[in-house]
Amino acid sequence: MTDGAPAALPPDPVQLADIAVELAGRAGALALRYQEAGLSVSSKSSVTDVVTDADRAVEDFLRTALAELRPADSVIGEEAGAAELTGAPVRWVLDPIDGTVNFVLGLPYFAVSIAAQVHGETVAGCVFNPASGELFRAAAGHGAFLGDRRLTGPRSVPLDEAVLTTGFNYDPARRARQGRVAGELLARVGNLRRLGSAALDLCTLAAGRVDLYYEGPLHEWDFAAGLLIATEAGVATSGLRGRPAGTHMVAGAHPERAEEFFGLLTELGVADIG
């Protein structure tokens, strides 16, 4: 910047959310075309951690589109890793298909997840389920929406009436420990759902379709957009033991139930599994 020149304005979260929405719709349509044509499936970290040719094609599409629209930005995605640029105004966090196992099996609970970060903070996000056509979006300070409906978070009900959703790790030993904790939780909450997409689980919480959520460890692309949508809907979130929600743990609840729920998770050792 030269002397006397005005400082560059920070990126507008609403405009970034609009980009995410537009690209998510096109990416979702591409994913469905691959699904209809027949998928090529392989595994990554374990036999249960699967990837398809659609995952890679969708991420390639998103990276190419972002390079055209915003060439100065950085990108990190599940399949191709990071393309970090020094001084980039925005960092995009991509999960081309969150819930790949559901996608492969034809279960209609998977999503394209796109988040935009400025100075390490997520300021815009979109989670799109191509199977249902539901599109969740948020821009920091502007609320969260499902289509045109503003989201206001989960119910405030006693834990023994609350419906909880969670997910399990691909590593068999860690998954076994998570299963034991989930079994203990079943005796303390109303019921449990395991739906298969962290991004959509957070949106489902934001929409009030479930009352509680926890999962960890996670990758940033699993939760970045969904976490913003949940917090913009008024969900209280935590990483447990005084930490903010992040890669180690993401937990969420109605603010009136958060302290009790987070305390229960800590008591049962959820924060120690990762």
Closest CA to 142 of 7, 10, 18: 18
The total number of structural domains in the chain stands at 2
pTM for the predicted model, two decimal places = 0.94
Q: Is the pLDDT of residue 95 over 70?
A: yes
Residue 214's domain comprises 159-273
Closest CA to 261 of 252, 269, 250: 252
How far is 119 from 117, CA to CA, in rounded Å?
A: 7
Question: Which CATH number goes with the domain that contains 255?
Answer: 3.40.190.80
The two tokens of residue 263 are 């305390």
Domain boundary (120, 150, 180) is at 150
Q: Is the pLDDT of residue 27 over 70?
A: yes
- Same domain, yes or no: 140 and 167: no
* Tokens 């995605």 found at: 77
Q: What is the DSSP string of 104-149?
A: HHT-S--EEEEEEEETTEEEEEEEEETTTTEEEEEETTS-EEETTE
Crossing angle between the packed helical segments 220-232 and 198-206, to the nearest 10 degrees: 0
Asked which of 48-62, 77-91, 164-178 is least confident by mean pLDDT, the reply is 77-91
Q: Are 93 and 225 in contact (CB under 8 A)?
A: yes
Domain boundary (150, 184, 213) is at 150
Q: How far does Cα 58 stand from its chain's mean position?
A: 17
Question: Can you count the helices (H) and strands (E) in the chain?
Answer: 8, 15
Q: Which amino acid is at 270?
A: V
What is the band of 233 on the pLDDT scale with cuts at 50, 70, 90? very high
Q: What pLDDT, on a 0 to 100 scale, did the predictor assign at position 3?
A: 55
Q: Is the pLDDT of residue 6 over 70?
A: no
Question: Which CATH number goes with the domain that contains 84?
Answer: 3.30.540.10
Whole-number CA gyration radius for the chain:
18
- Same domain, yes or no: 125 and 171: no
Determine the longest span between alpha carbons in the chain, in angstroms: 65
- Same domain, yes or no: 66 and 194: no
Closest CA to 211 of 249, 261, 247: 261
Q: What pLDDT, on a 0 to 100 scale, did the predictor assign at position 79?
A: 85
Q: Is the pLDDT of residue 1 over 50?
A: no
Q: What pLDDT, on a 0 to 100 scale, did the predictor assign at position 272?
A: 79
Residue-wise pLDDT for 113-145, tens only, equals: 999 999 999 999 999 999 999 999 999 999 999
User: What average pLDDT does range 50-78 have in this prediction?
Assistant: 94
Sign of CA dihedral 77, 78, 80, 86: positive
Give the active site residues: 78, 95, 97-98, 100, 222
Q: What pLDDT, on a 0 to 100 scale, did the predictor assign at position 4?
A: 56
- Show contacts of 49-55: CB within 8 Å, 24+ apart: 49/170, 50/100, 50/101, 50/104, 51/79, 51/100, 52/97, 52/100, 52/103, 52/104, 54/30, 54/96, 54/97, 54/103, 55/79, 55/96, 55/97, 55/100
CB atoms within 10 A of CB 51: 20
Is residue 92 classed as helix, strand or coil in its secondary structure? strand
Residue 8 within any structural domain of the chain? no
Q: Is the pLDDT of residue 5 over 60?
A: no
- Same domain, yes or no: 19 and 143: yes
